[in-house]
């Protein structure tokens, strides 16, 4: 079961998630890492609070793909674990919603464990936003109580508590009761303290404090926490929901707002978040996979604007941008506006390849992780000298690929096998099937439309809810990508869709389409009734787990191809993916059949998966399926495995192996 043929220790050659990187190779890109850390420390040690400080983005360049850009970010995260709020930001797809997309990703990152060493959040584990809220409260409330500006029954006891347990001083039930009882006066006092520091937050300091306190002290109340996250993301809330958080009507996000203004509000939220975090620690904002901005001059220009505005208008953040030199110099940087050029620091950090000694260490690390007892030196003898025959250093990916060939003389994987491995990764990840409006919009424009031979164009409807138009002959389908479920916004969406339908030259063949994921909240009944009454104008397509996995996998696959992470022609992969996604495109276009519902994975299946993997330690997906009840499908098994923190799924194109982590 665990013999050599089942394991592919060199199959993973792309870092998908910087929070889950493997053991480091001594010395590899250490100067680059040291330089980033030194830059961050210089920034972090500047005036506290860092409400008015910002600096140019640090650029990390790789002379070819596979030198470890994402890995370097992972190392940086490990090194700065307690010293920064860590934000990993993948590219936005639409220039006009750049800030909405960035804010969405930032909030997703804030809701991740505060400790980098915890890939998934266990119950009771603090998130980054928890840490930020608690430390802000602690820093400000401590001073206020000790100075007598905030009343507390036992000032001397609190003083000693603050001294001894800075991280846990507001955690005891007495303190929680006090915070709850004195909520209004605590918020008012902190508000004054922030005002004294000239910290202006939008919409108000009070609203931010209310939301942060509500989030920090409602660990068990998932709905309340989600409301807080939605408010930070500028998603509309019901009035009653606002009341739960103690917010006034004027402090709630506006439900009907033109797109440009929503984008601007998202930027304001980001600035406020960074500013309020200045009392605790800086934000480390890492923009990775920037090759994707090279796909259009408009996207690249927009990325320049993002960096420039962050530098000029936001505070308390340190930005790292990674890029491959070729694309950066030919397709991204040249499209920046002249005024945005100085958003990047003039001295880039250039990555190095690995030396022969380091390559051997990497092989040793992989053997250790996969519990392989072979002699590293003996294994390397046959192929490693060849890799370094004409060079002194080599990309990590080249080394891994050569090692993989030597390990099993495996043939290069086919496009279909690579695509399947991406799908499996999404299915097996606890967050891999989270609705992402940007990716679904990408799929409509780049996959669904072309696979149906439709003409596709970006549009901007007056309210901004419809952003893509597909046309085949007279038939016209408009698309919108709304992630949330607020009835008032959906009411506005349906009204806009209906207006388009009525104003169309051929109303009978013009309608609007929206997407929902099987794992999202059900839309409110009144919205569903509204849609049901207007089926000729609007329809909602629900994507099940398999379909979502395919869409997200296609996006990631193309992203990696465009970053030259695979030796494949982009056109060939696009053609393949359009074929793969054709069935979904047809369903969206015709809406003739509903998908199989995305059934919840049963508890018994999850237990069986857990038991099987635990007993085998390493097991291939094929063997796991044989051990499960007849008829269990691959996607259910992978989703079950993805929900178990002790199981790591290695989905490489040649093989999928499930590992029980000790």
**Where do contacts with another protein occur on this chain (CB under 8 A)?**
26-28, 30-31, 34, 61, 63-65, 294, 324-327, 330-331, 346-348, 350, 352-358, 360, 376-377, 380, 389-393, 395, 564, 570
Instruction: Return the H-helix or E-strand segment holding 651.
Output: strand 647-651
Q: What minimum distance in Å lies between the beta carbon of 37 and another protein?
A: 12
All residues at 6 or more sequence positions from 159 whose CB lies less than 8 Å from its CB, including other chains: 145, 146
Closer to another protein by CB, 401 or 463: give it. 401
Instruction: Name which of 263 and 361 has its Cβ closer to another protein.
Output: 361
Task: Name the residue nearer to another protein (CB basis): 380 or 644.
Answer: 380
Q: Return the structure tokens found at 256.
A: 């009907």
Provide the minimum distance between the beta carbon of 390 and another protein in the complex, in angstroms, as a whole number. 4
DSSP output for 438-482: HHHHHHIIIIIHHHTT-EEEE---TTS---EEEEETTEEEEE---
Least distance between another protein and beta carbon 67 (Å)? 9
Structural contact between residues 217 and 186, judged by C-beta atoms closer than 8 angstroms: no
Distances, alpha carbon 272 to alpha carbons 14, 46, 388, in Å: 35, 19, 51
Shortest Å, Cβ 107 to another protein:
33
Tell me which residue of 517, 512, 508, 533 sits closest to 484, measured CA to CA: 517
Separation CA 73–CA 86 (nearest Å): 10
Q: In the bound complex, what is the minimum distance in angstroms from residue 564's beta carbon to another protein?
A: 5
Instruction: Pick between residue 337 and residue 570 the one whose CB is nearest to another protein.
Output: 570
Query: Is the Cβ–Cβ distance between 429 and 640 less than 8 Å?
Result: no
User: By C-beta, is 38 or 528 nearer to another protein?
Assistant: 38
Q: How far is it, in rounded angstroms, from Cα 309 to Cα 298?
A: 16
Beta carbon of residue 281, minimum distance to another protein (angstroms, whole number):
22
Helix (H) or strand (E) run with residue 517 in it: strand 510-517
CB of 383 to another protein, least distance (A): 13
Sign, CA dihedral 524-525-531-534, equals negative
The DSSP 8-state label assigned to residue 344 in this structure reads B
If the CB atoms of residues 28 and 415 are measured against another protein, the closer one turns out to be: 28
Residue 641: name the closest of 617, 599, 605 by CA.
605
Largest CA distance in the chain: 78
Residue 22 CB, shortest distance to another protein, in Å, is: 18
């Amino acid at each position: 079961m665990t013999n050599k043929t089942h394991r592919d220790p060199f199959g993973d050659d792309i870092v998908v998630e910087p929070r889950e990187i493997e053991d480091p190779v001594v010395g590899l890109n250490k100067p680059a890492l040291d330089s980033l850390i030194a830059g961050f420390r210089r920034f972090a040690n500047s005036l506290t609070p860092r409400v008015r400080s910002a600096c140019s983005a640090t650029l990390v360049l790789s002379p070819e793909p596979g030198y470890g850009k994402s890995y370097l970010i992972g190392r940086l995260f490990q090194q700065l674990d307690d010293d920064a709020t860590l934000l990993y930001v993948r590219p936005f797809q639409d220039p006009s919603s750049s800030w909405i997309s960035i804010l969405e990703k930032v909030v997703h990152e804030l809701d991740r464990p505060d400790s980098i060493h915890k890939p998934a959040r266990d119950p009771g584990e603090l998130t980054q936003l928890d840490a930020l809220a608690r430390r802000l409260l602690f820093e400000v409330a401590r001073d206020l109580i000790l100075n007598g500006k905030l009343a507390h029954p036992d000032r001397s006891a609190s003083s000693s508590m603050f001294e001894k347990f800075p991280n846990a001083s507001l955690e005891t039930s007495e303190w929680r009761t006090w915070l709850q009882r004195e909520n209004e006066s605590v918020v008012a006092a902190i508000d004054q303290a922030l005002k004294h520091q000239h910290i202006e937050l939008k919409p108000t300091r009070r609203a931010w404090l209310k939301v942060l306190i509500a989030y920090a002290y409602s660990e068990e109340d998932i709905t309340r926490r989600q409301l807080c996250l939605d408010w930070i993301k500028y998603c509309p809330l019901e009035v009653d929901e606002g009341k739960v958080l103690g917010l006034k009507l004027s402090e709630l996000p506006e439900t009907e707002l033109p797109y440009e203004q929503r984008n601007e509000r998202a930027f304001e939220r980001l600035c406020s978040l960074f500013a309020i975090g200045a009392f605790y620690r800086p934000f480390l904002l890492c923009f990775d996979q920037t090759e994707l901005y090279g796909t259009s001059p408009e996207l690249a220009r927009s990325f320049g604007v993002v960096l420039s505005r962050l530098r000029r208008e936001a505070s308390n953040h340190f930005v790292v941008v990674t890029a491959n030199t070729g694309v950066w110099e030919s397709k991204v940087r040249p499209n920046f506006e002249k005024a945005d050029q100085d958003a990047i620091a003039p001295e880039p950090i250039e990555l190095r390849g690995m030396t022969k000694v380091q390559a051997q260490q990497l092989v040793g690390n992989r053997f250790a992780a996969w519990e392989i007892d072979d002699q590293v030196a003996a294994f390397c003898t046959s192929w490693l000298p060849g890799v370094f025959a004409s060079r002194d250093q080599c990309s990590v990916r080249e080394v891994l690929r050569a090692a993989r060939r030597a390990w099993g003389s495996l043939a290069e994987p086919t496009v279909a096998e690579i695509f399947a491995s991406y799908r499996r990764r999404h299915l097996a990840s606890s967050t891999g099937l989270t609705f992402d409006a940007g990716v679904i919009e990408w799929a409509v424009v780049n996959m669904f439309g072309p696979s149906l031979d439709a003409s596709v164009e970006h549009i901007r409807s007056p309210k901004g809810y419809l952003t893509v138009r597909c046309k085949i002959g007279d038939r016209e389908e408009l698309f919108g990508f709304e992630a949330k479920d607020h009835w008032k916004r959906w009411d506005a969406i349906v009204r806009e869709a209906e207006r388009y339908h009525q104003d169309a030259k051929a109303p009978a063949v013009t309608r609007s389409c929206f997407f929902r994921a099987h794992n999202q909240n059900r839309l409110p009944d009144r919205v569903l009734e509204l849609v049901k009454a207007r089926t000729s104008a609007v329809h909602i397509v629900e994507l099940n787990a398999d379909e979502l996995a395919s869409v997200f996998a296609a996006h990631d696959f193309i992203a990696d191809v465009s970053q030259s992470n695979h030796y494949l022609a982009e056109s060939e992969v696009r053609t393949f993916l359009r074929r793969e996604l054709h069935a979904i495109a047809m369903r969206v276009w015709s809406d003739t059949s509903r998908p199989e519902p995305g059934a919840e994975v049963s508890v018994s299946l999850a237990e069986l998966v857990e038991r099987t993997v635990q007993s085998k330690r390493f097991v291939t997906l094929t063997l796991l399926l044989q051990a499960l009840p007849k008829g269990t499908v691959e996607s259910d098994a992978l989703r079950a495995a993805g929900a178990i923190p002790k199981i790591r799924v290695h989905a490489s194109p040649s093989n999928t192996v499930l590992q029980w982590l000790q």
